[in-house]
Amino acid sequence: MSRPLQRGVSGGVRVPGSGHDLWDSQSKDKTEKEDLDKRGSSDHSPLALRFPLGLLLGNNSDSKYGNGIGENGFASDSFIVSSPRSRLKLMLLSLKFSLVVIVVLALTGSFWWTLSISSSSRGHIYHGYRRLQEKLVSDLLDIGEFSRGPLRLKESEFCSQDLENFVPCYNVSGNVELEVSDGNEVDRQCGHELRPNCLVLPPVNYKIPLRWPTGKDVIWVANVKITAQEVLSSGSLTKRMMMLDEEQISFRSASHMFDGVEDYSHQIAEMIGLRNESYFIQAGVRTILDIGCGYGSFGAHLFDSQLLTTCIANYEPSGSQVQLTLERGLPAMIASFTSKQLPFSSLSFDMLHCARCGIEWDQKDGILLIEADRLLKPGGYFVWTSPLTNARNKENQKRWKFIQDFTLTLCWELLSQQDETVVWKKTSKKSCYASRKSGSGPSLCGRGIDVESPYYRELQNCIGGMQSARWVPIEKRERWPSRANLNKKELAIYGLQPDELSEDSDSWKTAIQNYWSLLSPLIFSDHPKRPGDEDPSPPYNMLRNVLDMNAHFGGFNSALLQARKSVWVMNVVPISGPNYLPLIQDRGFVGVLHDWCEAFPTYPRTYDLVHAAGFLSLETEQHRCTMLDMFLEIDRILRPEGWVIIRDTVPLIESARALTAQLKWDARVIEVESDSDQRLLICQKPFFKRQAS
């Protein structure tokens, strides 16, 4: 093997004026070759500590070529100034000496500066250094996690059967072991458990949900975890409106408690002073929070009147209100009125509804009513149906009296009471709070406490929302659907101009057209129609529940409604980005604040389409969790044969596409005509069936 040529070395070159060939490689002395080998290996050793100093000071050892013989084979005298080479060497020595002086001065200054630092300054510097170290470690771990992603999934591809309905952060038995008590064991507790690194399979007899609106009234029994006893047991209004057969659960309007949900809704409208529930829109009501919603029949009925009802209920291992409501194609999420503020903005809902919801509003000194007040818009309605309102024993009468007195201190007006149902109206005037008797009721929250959009913060014992610029009575807001287009004054609260929202809306209208043109052939190819049948209007039976992981202004939701798609959208605002949740909820849409490094508060197999535009760019900048973790969560909440649409930069889309192969998704990358730096990744989750044991 030939040796690389050294500087000035050339095989077979004869030096003029010399009687012998100094550099003839054929006659080189063996010892010189060995010496050269040793020198070369020494110079290239990574442990040669003299290497940096050699660069700075040069090598002053004797030349193996003898005195007066330079490396190039010519006789030389380093002190002959008259030669150009000598002048060059002198200049180099001067530069080296200058560098030495600079380094010495710098080290000396650094030494005295270090001595002069106070202990607190040292702490800041140390912590800054630690942050840099942690950032570097995080980046390296991200790279390692990504590179090992395929291996990790191959090691445990599918979850065990006991995780079919698993919801991270809601491990009730684990919370009991952690000594979480006082009714808070059903509360959300993230960070105490390892999330399973596997793909959740559906139950053995799972079937694709029926097409909307049929699926609103009929669901497959095998798709949810519920027993016949739970179906037939007594409970809230909507729990008693169900019929169970061998394969299906159907929801009916008959009830032992009322003539039906239609009559119940009509009763509430009359108590407010309206002719019927179809006039709720005229009274400024569009969004309703249904607490402990049963199985969503109240919201299902009001949906036909363009009212958007969001169901919230505690996590339930079996017979879940949230799971059944979502299976019907209605908005719902797991949330508890226990110890934490809900992840909604203040002044978010036009109406709160609680029909035998199990919340004891008189407990904890009324702090749960304070949270209800925070969520309610000025002029909004609180509807409560409970046997406590018609109590006859002294203890329950005392509890009912406490609630009546406490709501007065919240500036709620008791509009009407019929049978077990009571309706309050929240004040539209801030002056009401100043007119209260001194020391009566909760105080107003200060600016530091009155957070616009808290994220699972401890419940506050003060009235929130008072510092918000969004204090606008519902009767003074635009009626739906005009409400979706906020006026100039409303947009100014968020620092936006009307043309910005208009431009965003136009962009999403075009995007929805493109999405549908891409999805329609894919859906029809999976579900071929019979000869002579007309094409079913997209999205066939596949899309009803939609989740937008990075909702921004809610433009995706708005464009779907304008295109008359029969869907509803859960608009998620990541805590890692700008907070436009108040804007989304002011537009009359469903929205929630969420940290995507944690599990979303829903059951497996609850969404037909997950959409994420710019989401990867937003989250990967934070380096708080891996892309694989987020994709496993998407897979958990996505229904079999459900769809994922991701729009982002080319490198991130390529990374995401690599992960989809490990998740067993079918994926296609499509160019975005309007932006060459963007790509669309359209994926479908396969329908893997678990074998019956």
pLDDT at 435: 93
Quick one: average pLDDT of 397-413? 97
Percent of residues, the chain, with pLDDT higher than 70: 72
* More confident: 283 or 123: 283
What is the C-alpha to C-alpha distance for residues 496 and 140, in angstroms, rounded to an integer?
39
Which residues, other chains included, contact 349 with Cβ-Cβ below 8 Å and sequence gap of 6+? 287, 288, 289, 375, 376, 377, 380, 585
pLDDT at 62: 43
CB burial of residue 425 (10 Å; 0-12, 13-18, 19+):
buried
Q: What backbone phi and psi angles, to 5 degrees, belong to 540? A: 55, -135
pLDDT at 659: 92
The CATH code that applies to domain 484-527+536-685 is: 3.40.50.150
What is the C-alpha to C-alpha distance for residues 688 and 472, in angstroms, rounded to an integer?
49
- To which CATH superfamily is domain 256-476 assigned? Vaccinia Virus protein VP39 (3.40.50.150)
pLDDT tens-digit profile of 293-342? 988 999 999 998 999 999 999 999 998 999 999 999 999 999 998 889 99
* More confident: 60 or 292: 292
* More confident: 469 or 535: 469
Asked whether the predicted pLDDT for residue 256 surpasses 60, the reply is no
pLDDT tens-digit profile of 8-35? 333 433 333 434 333 344 444 444 444 4
Q: Give the closest residue to 618 by CA, choosing from 586, 659, 646.
A: 646
pLDDT at 191: 72
Q: Which of these ranges, 134-143, 156-165, 270-279, has the smallest mean pLDDT? A: 134-143
Quick one: average pLDDT of 354-383? 96
Quick one: average pLDDT of 73-81? 38
Query: At how many degrees (to 10) do helices 50-57 and 84-116 cross?
Result: 130
Asked whether the predicted pLDDT for residue 153 surpasses 50, the reply is no
* More confident: 490 or 147: 490
pLDDT at 174: 53
Q: Which of these ranges, 30-39, 546-555, 603-612, has the smallest mean pLDDT? A: 30-39
pLDDT at 611: 98
CB 564 within 8 A of CB 539: no
Quick one: average pLDDT of 140-149? 42
Q: Which of these ranges, 58-72, 96-110, 192-206, has the smallest mean pLDDT? A: 58-72
CB 209 within 8 A of CB 544: yes
pLDDT tens-digit profile of 475-522? 999 999 999 999 999 999 999 999 999 999 999 999 999 998 888 777
What is the C-alpha to C-alpha distance for residues 309 and 311, in angstroms, rounded to an integer?
6
Q: Give the closest residue to 39 by CA, choosing from 51, 29, 21.
A: 51
pLDDT at 406: 97
pLDDT at 173: 56
Of 37-46, 63-72, 349-358, which one has max mean pLDDT?
Answer: 349-358
CB 647 within 8 A of CB 678: yes
Reported as type and span, the H/E element at residue 323 is helix 321-327
Quick one: average pLDDT of 268-296? 95
Query: At how many degrees (to 10) do helices 498-526 and 555-562 cross?
Result: 60
What is the C-alpha to C-alpha distance for residues 177 and 185, in angstroms, rounded to an integer?
10
Percent helix, strand, coil in the chain (nearest 5)? 40, 15, 45
Q: What is the phi-psi region of residue 529: left when phi exceeds 0, alpha when psi lies from -120 to 50, beta otherwise?
A: beta
CB 461 within 8 A of CB 442: yes
Which residues, other chains included, contact 217 with Cβ-Cβ below 8 Å and sequence gap of 6+? 250, 251, 300, 328
307: its two tokens:
């009212």
pLDDT at 132: 43
Residues of the chain within CATH 3.40.50.150 domain(s) are: 256-476, 484-527+536-685
255: its two tokens:
């009830």
pLDDT at 521: 74
Q: Is-above-0.85 flag for pTM?
A: no
